[in-house]
């Protein structure tokens, strides 16, 4: 089975992210005649007597990779260029800068084939953890790397829902995708209702990736002590072996600050 076909069957098994999903007309691939005024859906344009590949083909390929990676339209907008250090108060600015540099260095290591360990971003809600993780995913997808971005509760739900299904069904492949993706982003490893099953599932996933030197990026609002309490000592130990830890801190929830500024901005500036 083709890789894109296999991935396309996996993603529908993941629950929808109502809070972050933003409709994006690019994802629906409209009528090719309307989609590209240059080639009118043919994929090639004429330059004199030569036919060359239209730039829209590269754009479409990127969109497909973003969707296959689990990056919603909202997450696709979270890039390194838009990570604004001005949201961090002076006391927290240096740790934010170090986290940004670590994320960018991680991307470079992946591109050069040198990444063996991942990253874990910790900090309170609205401190920029998911933003940095998304920026990493976007940068790698743009360079053609295999990335899978998933929210932890959604991943666990999809794996649980796959029980009892045949291997040919999409839900049964979700765990395999998380295990074997070139870079896995586990967003929101928080204080969920962890059971022995969820702890064992996460340990098995992380243990596989450690043993196969497949880097993982994790975001969590838990401290290391809380991680050990919720996940257990062996899983936490695996995470610390597998990931370099960076803590982001803010005085105010950045999402709330942005929302407040957007509400008070002139209409022409609200989407900038």
- The predicted-structure confidence for 165-206, as pLDDT tens digits, reads as follows 554 444 468 889 999 999 999 999 987 888 999 999 999 999
* Percent of the chain with pLDDT strictly greater than 70: 78
**Does the pLDDT at position 154 exceed 60?**
yes
pLDDT at 239: 95
Say what angle helices 152-161 and 196-211 make with each other, to 10 degrees. Answer: 100
**Does the pLDDT at position 243 exceed 80?**
yes
**pLDDT tens track for 209-218:** 999 999 999 9
Contacts 24+ apart (CB under 8 A), 21-26: 21/72, 21/73, 21/74, 22/72, 22/73, 22/74, 23/73, 24/72, 24/73, 24/76, 26/63, 26/73
Say if CB 103 and CB 48 are below 8 A apart.
no
Residue with tokens 């296999």: 6
Provide φ and ψ at 206, rounded to 5°.
Answer: -65, -40
pLDDT at 33: 42
Segments of 194-249 assigned E as strands: 216-220, 243-247
Say if CB 153 and CB 16 are below 8 A apart.
no
**Does the pLDDT at position 34 exceed 60?**
no
Cα–Cα distance between 101 and 119 in angstroms, integer? 12
Higher pLDDT, 269 or 91: 91
pTM above 0.75, yes or no: yes
10-40: b (≥16 Cβ within 10 Å) or e: bbebbeebeeeeeeeeeeeeeeeeebbeebe
Say if CB 194 and CB 165 are below 8 A apart.
no
Torsion (CA) 69, 245, 135, 261 in degrees, nearest 10: 130
The residues near 29 (Cβ < 8 Å, ≥ 6 apart) are 35, 60
Say if CB 148 and CB 175 are below 8 A apart.
no
Domains and CATH numbers, the chain: 37-68 (no CATH), 81-272 (3.40.50.300)
Cα–Cα distance between 131 and 219 in angstroms, integer? 10
Say if CB 215 and CB 183 are below 8 A apart.
yes
SS3 content of the chain, % helix, strand, coil (to 5): 55, 10, 35
């Amino acid at each position: 089975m083709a890789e894109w076909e296999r991935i396309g069957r996996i993603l529908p098994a993941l629950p929808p992210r109502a809070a972050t999903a933003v409709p994006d007309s690019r994802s629906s691939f409209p009528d090719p005649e309307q989609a590209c005024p240059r080639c009118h859906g043919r994929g090639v344009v004429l330059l004199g007597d030569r036919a060359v590949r239209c730039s829209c083909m590269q754009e479409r390929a990127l969109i497909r990779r973003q969707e296959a990676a689990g990056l919603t339209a909202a997450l696709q907008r979270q890039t390194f260029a838009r990570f604004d250090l001005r949201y961090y108060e002076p006391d927290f600015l240096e740790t934010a800068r170090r986290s940004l540099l670590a994320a960018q260095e991680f991307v470079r290591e992946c591109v050069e084939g040198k990444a063996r360990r991942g990253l874990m971003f910790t900090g309170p809600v609205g401190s920029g953890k998911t933003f940095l993780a998304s920026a990493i995913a976007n940068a790698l997808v743009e360079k053609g790397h295999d990335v899978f971005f998933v929210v932890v509760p959604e991943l666990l739900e999809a794996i649980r829902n796959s029980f009892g299904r045949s291997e040919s069904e999409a839900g049964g492949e979700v765990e395999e995708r998380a295990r074997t993706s070139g870079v896995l982003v586990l967003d929101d490893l928080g204080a969920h209702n962890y059971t022995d099953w969820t702890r064992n599932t996460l340990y098995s996933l992380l243990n596989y990736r450690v043993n196969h030197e497949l880097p993982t990026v994790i975001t969590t609002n838990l401290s290391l002590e809380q991680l050990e309490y919720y996940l257990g000592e062996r899983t936490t130990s695996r995470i610390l072996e597998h990931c370099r830890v960076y803590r982001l801190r803010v005085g105010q929830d950045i999402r709330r600050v942005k929302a407040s500024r957007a509400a008070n901005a002139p209409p022409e500036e609200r989407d900038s």
